[in-house]
Amino acid sequence: MKATTHRMKDNAVDAMANPALQDSLDRMKTGFSSKRAIARDRLPEFDALRDQGRDIKNRVLANLDHYLEAFEEKVIAAGGKVHWCADAEEANAAILGICQSLDARTVTKGKSMISEEIGLNDYLEANGVTPVETDLGEYIIQLRHEAPSHIIAPAIHLQMRQVEETFREHHRHLDPARQLMEPPQLMGEARAELRGRFIAADVGITGANFLIAETGSTVIVTNEGNGDLTQTLPKAHVVVASIEKIVPTLEDASTLMRLLARSATGQELSVYTTFSTGPRRADDPDGPGEFHVVLLDNGRTDLLGSEFSEMLRCIRCGACLNHCPVYGAIGGHAYGWVYPGPMGSVLSPGLIGIEDAGNMPNASTLCGRCEAVCPMHIPLPRMLRAWREREHDKKLSPRSVRWGLDLWAMLASRPRLYQIATGLAMKLLGRLGRRHGNFLNLPLAGGWTDHRDLPAPEGATFMQQYRKGRRATK
C-alpha cells in the first residue's frame, strides 16, 4: 500500500467534511469506549492481567529468537512448514509459491492486517490468483476497493446504506425486492455469497493473533466463524504473521486473549477462538492437507532493542484507536497507511520510515488516553515524542519551526530579557484586545483564530505586577 501520510492534513480535512464518515465515527467513539469500560469494571483483576500481559511480551521480546526457533521446531514436528521472510516481497513470493504449487485459482482469506501491510491481495491478483476476503468488513471494503480504516473493524467508516449499495452493485443475482436494512440481513447476504467461495477455494490464508512456541500452534479470534471455514476447507492453510506475535505457552496465550477481546470490543472473549496445529492428521475428519506459517519481519528486528521496542508488545486490539480524539475526528484512512491511530503512528514510521510517515507522530495531542487504555501498557505518547525527536534530529521538521524554537529557547533561558520582551508584547496585545476581550483574527495566529477567538491578555504580565509589589490580593 502506498503511503499517503504526507498528505495527512488534506486527508483529514476531507474526512471531516464527510458527513457519513463523521456519523460512523460518532457512533464508534461512544460504542467501543463504553463497552470496554463495562468489561473492565466486570473484571476486578483487569489491571493485574495487564501487568501479566506486559511481562509475558517483555519476556518474549528479550528472547525472541529462542521462542521463534522453538515455534518452528514444533510446527515442523506437527507436519507444517515455516517460511522466514525479511520483507513484504519475500512474504508475497512465499505465499504465491504455495498457491502455485497447488495450482490454486482462488484463495479465501480471514482478516489479516499483515496481508494489508504487505499488499498481498494486489500481488496475488497480479499473478493470476483471486483472493476473496471472508470477514464481513474486509469483504465489503474489498468490493469497494478500499483499505481498512480500523485494525479490528475495517469497514467502521461505512454506514449500512453504503453497504447495501455495495452489495446491490456487486451481487448480480440479488433480488431487488430483498430487504437489506438490518445488520443480520446484510450478514446473511454476504454469507450466502461467500458460501460457495469457501468450498471452491484452493488455499485459505489467515493472520494470527498469537503464535505459540510451546505447541507450534497459531491462534485466530473472530466473531463470524469465517476464519474457521477459511482454514479448514481448502487444500492448504497459510498463516501469515509478524514475528512479534509469538508467545511462550498456551497459558500465556489465554492470558493475552482475556485482555484482547475486552480491550477491543468489550467482549469477555471473541465468539470463535481457533487454534491450529499442523495440517490434517491421518485420523482427522477434516482440515487442510498443508500447513504453512509465513513469518514476517519487515523492519521489526530494527525496532527490537530500540526506543520503540515496546511497540512490539501490541496485540492489535484497537483500544488506542477507539479512545483517540484525533482518530475519532478523522478516521483511519486519513492517516494514509495501513495502521492508523496512536499504535499506527508509532509503528508505521518504524516500518515505512519517518521521512514518509512524519505527520503521524505529530498529529497527536499527547493526551495520553491511548496509553491509559492500552492493555499492554505501551507508552505510546513517549514513543510519539521519540519519533518527533528523530524527525527533529534529521532536520525533517520545517525550518521555520526549528528557528522559532531556537529563538524561543534563547529568550526563555534568559529570564530578564524574556520578561522585558514578553512584557512589551502583552502590553500591546492587551491594549489591542481591550475592547472586545478577544481577537477574532490576529496576524501570525491564523492557525488559532481561523476557528477560535484568542482571549486577549490582561495586559501587564504576572511578573511585571509582582515586581511592582502586587501580592496575593489587590
Partner 1 sequence: MSQRKVALFVTCLVDLFRPTVGFAALKLLEQAGCDVSVPEAQTCCGQPAFNSGDRGNAQKVARGLIEAFEPFDYVVAPSGSCAGMIRKHYPELFAGDDIWEARATALAGKTWELTSFLTDVVGFDAVDASYDGSVTYHDSCSGLRELGVKSQPRKLLDKVAGLNLTELPGAEVCCGFGGTFCVKYADISNAIVADKTEDILATGADTLLAGDLGCLMNMAGKLSREGRPVKVRHVAEVLADMTGDVAPISQGPES
Q: Which of residues 357-396 bind partner 1 (CB under 8 A)?
A: 362-369, 371-372, 382, 385, 387-393
SS3 423: helix
Residue with Cβ nearer partner 1 (62 or 405): 405
Environment class of 386 (CB within 10 Å of its CB; exposed 0-12, middle 13-18, buried 19+): middle
Selected from 20, 199, 269, 405, the binder of partner 1 by CB under 8 A is 405
* DSSP states along 381-412: HHHHHHHHHHHHHTT-S-HHHHHHHHHHHHHH
Selected from 69, 73, 302, 406, the binder of partner 1 by CB under 8 A is 406
How far apart are CB 440 and partner 1 at their closest, in Å?
8
Distance (Å, whole) CA 360 – CA 331: 13
CB 464 within 8 A of CB 419: yes
Q: Which residue has the cell 508505521?
A: 348
Phi and psi angles of residue 312, each rounded to the nearest 5 degrees, phi first: -75, 0
For residue 121, count other CB atoms closer than 10 A to its CB.
20
How far apart are CB 315 and partner 1 at their closest, in Å?
21
Q: Which residue has the cell 520510515?
A: 353
User: Of the candidates 288, 272, 284, 273, which has an alpha carbon nearest to the alpha carbon of residue 219?
Assistant: 273
Q: Give residues 437-466 in contact with partner 1 (rule: CB under 8 A).
A: 437-438, 440, 445-448, 450-455, 457-458, 460-463, 465-466
Distance (Å, whole) CA 263 – CA 151: 13
How far apart are CB 6 and partner 1 at their closest, in Å?
14
Of 12-20, 121-129, 158-166, 241-249: span binding partner 1 (CB under 8 A)? 12-20
Pairing, β 210-212 against β 217-222: antiparallel
How far apart are CB 448 and partner 1 at their closest, in Å?
6
Q: Which three cell numbers stand for residue 299?
A: 523492519
Strand ranges in 145-253 using DSSP code E only, listed in sequence order: 203-206, 210-212, 217-222, 236-242, 246-247
For residue 310, count other CB atoms closer than 10 A to its CB.
22
Q: Give residues 217-236 in contact with partner 1 (rule: CB under 8 A).
A: none
How far apart are CB 1 and partner 1 at their closest, in Å?
22
Residue with Cβ nearer partner 1 (93 or 429): 429
Residue with Cβ nearer partner 1 (145 or 471): 471
Provide the mask over 153-182, with x wherever binding to partner 1 is found by CB under 8 A and - wherever it is not.
------------------------------
CB 371 within 8 A of CB 379: yes
How far apart are CB 256 and partner 1 at their closest, in Å?
24
How far apart are CB 443 and partner 1 at their closest, in Å?
14
Does position 7 interact with partner 1 (CB under 8 A)? The reply is: no
Of 68-76, 94-102, 124-132, 406-414: span binding partner 1 (CB under 8 A)? 406-414
Distance (Å, whole) CA 231 – CA 114: 17
User: Of the candidates 222, 236, 263, which has an alpha carbon nearest to the alpha carbon of residue 135?
Assistant: 222
How far apart are CB 219 and partner 1 at their closest, in Å?
32
How far apart are CB 37 and partner 1 at their closest, in Å?
11
Of 74-82, 83-91, 176-184, 430-438: span binding partner 1 (CB under 8 A)? 430-438
Distance (Å, whole) CA 316 – CA 265: 12
Phi and psi angles of residue 236, each rounded to the nearest 5 degrees, phi first: -135, 145
Residue with Cβ nearer partner 1 (12 or 260): 12
Q: Give residues 308-347 in contact with partner 1 (rule: CB under 8 A).
A: 325-326, 328-330
Binding residues for partner 1, total number by CB under 8 A: 72
Q: Which three cell numbers stand for residue 331?
A: 478516521
How far apart are CB 339 and partner 1 at their closest, in Å?
18
∠ CA 311-314-320, rounded to 5°: 95
Identify the DSSP state of 452: S
How far apart are CB 272 and partner 1 at their closest, in Å?
33
Selected from 402, 403, 428, 432, the binder of partner 1 by CB under 8 A is 402
Q: Which amino acid is residue 24, in one-letter code?
A: S
How far apart are CB 446 and partner 1 at their closest, in Å?
8
Q: Give residues 407-426 in contact with partner 1 (rule: CB under 8 A).
A: 408-409, 411-413, 415, 418-419, 422, 425-426
Q: Which amino acid is residue 278, in one-letter code?
A: G
